[in-house]
Amino acid sequence: MKNLLRVVFLFMALSLFSSCIDNKIDNAEVKLVTAEEMQSILELEDVQLVDIRSPKEHDEIRIANSQNIDFSSPTFEEDISKLDKAKPVILYCKGGGRSAKCAQKLKSAGFEKIYDLEGGISKWKHSDKIKIEVKS
């Protein structure tokens, strides 16, 4: 009976210890933000604003001061490795699908603060909350 109690206690202690370790390793969160929230973040923090659409899409319409890193590019992994993992990153694409996938890759790569523009540029292109540049 004493051995059974020891085993149960040891198991509970190991479970608690391992859950604490996991939380420390995976402390980055991906936060969906609205255009208004994104604008506030851009004004308050030193942020890397990344458009992960194709260069053609980026040339046609983009959020002002964004850099383009094509999620579909064969050099994508190398390109994101040039970003500063300690600085916040705001991602956007056309509708939110690619940026959600990219956010998970950044999280796995150790980025500390990741924001994802909810609904992508399509949802906000007519909003007065963010500055959009359109090719004329």
Active site residue 102: no
Listed in sequence order, the DSSP H helices in the chain are 2-25, 35-44, 55-60, 76-80, 97-108, 120-124
Token digits of residue 6? 């020891």
What b/e sequence results for 13-26 when a residue is b if at least 16 CB atoms lie within 10 Å of its CB, and e otherwise?
A: eeeeeeeeeeeeee
From the list 30, 93, 102, 130, the catalytic residue is 93
Q: Which residue has the tokens 């370790």?
A: 21
How many degrees, rounded to 5, is the angle at CA 33 between CA 27 and CA 38? 105
CA angle 8, 9, 10 (to 5 degrees): 90
Active site residues: 93
